[in-house]
Amino acid sequence: MKIAVVGATGLVGGLMLKVLEERGFAQEEILVAASEKSIGKKIKFSNRELTVQSVEDVINQECDYAIFSAGGQTSKKYAPLFAQKGTIVIDNSSAWRMQEDIPLVVPEINASAIKNGDKIIANPNCSTIQMVLALSSLQKNYGIKRIVVSTYQSVTGTGVKAVKQLDCEKENKECERAYPYQIFENILPHGGDFLSNGYTTEEEKLINETRKIFSDSSIAITATVARVPVKGGHSEAVNVELRKPFDLNDVYKLLESTKGVVVLDKPSENLYPMPINAEGKDEVFVGRIRKDESIENGLNLWIVADNLRKGAATNAVQILEYLTSK
């Protein structure tokens, strides 16, 4: 196979190469593309070095698959050109997610949404992926009426510039800002851009993508996104109102049997998910599982995952695995 990674010099792009190597694609022909300033750079992959090429040059080499993590504008411009060459594109930006004829896929939940002939497949937002994977068995068995989610998202979700800002501020140095305010020892109730209704684009993604992945536009969802001074993963406080009465023991069993989910929930031992434990792992961790005693059929969950791995790179490579297994 010939596989392209577009945006290979970024945080997620670099991790996509690592995950490709980890998950059995080390012997395939891998092409790496990035912006003009990175052309000619060398990237280590498995036991060899790859040379960064322009996206235009890679398009003309007629790859079987292209995994994108280069932002929405780049994807809008180049993904259709790859598709015209017969390449199947797996895109990590928000460019295609809500387009009706583009599948939005978390493989453990809805890989069957990918149809023969699909040339562009969308990878959901990182915070959406971890939430829907944790809730997928509950949706299937009980149905979900309403979700209230508050996120505590790491700076790596914003990118290299945000990580540098946090590091600079820790050392009391001046540096270019990714955020409008200090992030070190601070929390910003602000993810993405503000919309006319007062919500942000990150909050809107959680709402719209969850409904699309679950194929249920009737789910009432509200979200608040916050950025926290953490590097290693996103955390979410999720309150769910189910459509049917539930037994808490059954909820535990469903979560424990959900592929890709790990339950960490022993309050007496102070055992619960934290981003410091999720960093570098592909699983979604769930804890603080308890009934919401203020409403009928209410449930509270605390959900943590590495936003760069399962939230981005790993999910994209899992889509590739599904396609190649077919």
Q: What is the H or E stretch that residue 207 is in?
A: helix 201-213
Could you give the count of Cα atoms lying within 13 Å of 185 in the half-sphere of its Cβ? 5
How crowded is the C-beta side of 10, counted as CA atoms within 13 Å? Answer: 24
Task: Provide the 10 A C-beta neighbour count for residue 206.
Answer: 27
The single residue of 63, 168, 190, 234 carrying the catalytic annotation is: 234
Q: Which two tokens stand for residue 82?
A: 């790859």
* Exposure string over 263-279, b if 16+ CB within 10 A, otherwise e: bbbeeeeeebbbbebbb
CA pair distance 314, 233, nearest whole angstrom: 14
Contact 186, 170 (CB under 8 A): no
Q: DSSP string of 70-123?
A: S-HHHHHHHHHHHHHTTPEEEE-SSSSTT-TTS-B--HHHHGGG--TT--EEEP
Backbone angles phi, psi at 8, to 5 degrees: -70, -20
β-bridge partners, 88:
65
Count CB atoms within 10 A of the CB of residue 152: 19
242 phi and psi, to 5 degrees? -85, 160
User: Is residue 126 annotated as part of the catalytic site, yes or no?
Assistant: yes
What is the identity of the amino acid at 131? M
Residue the block writes with tokens 């077919």: 326
| Contact of 312 with 15, CB cutoff 8 Å | yes
Neighbours of 171 (CB within 10 A): 9
Active-site residue (options: 126, 168, 175, 190)? 126
Known catalytic residues are 126, 234
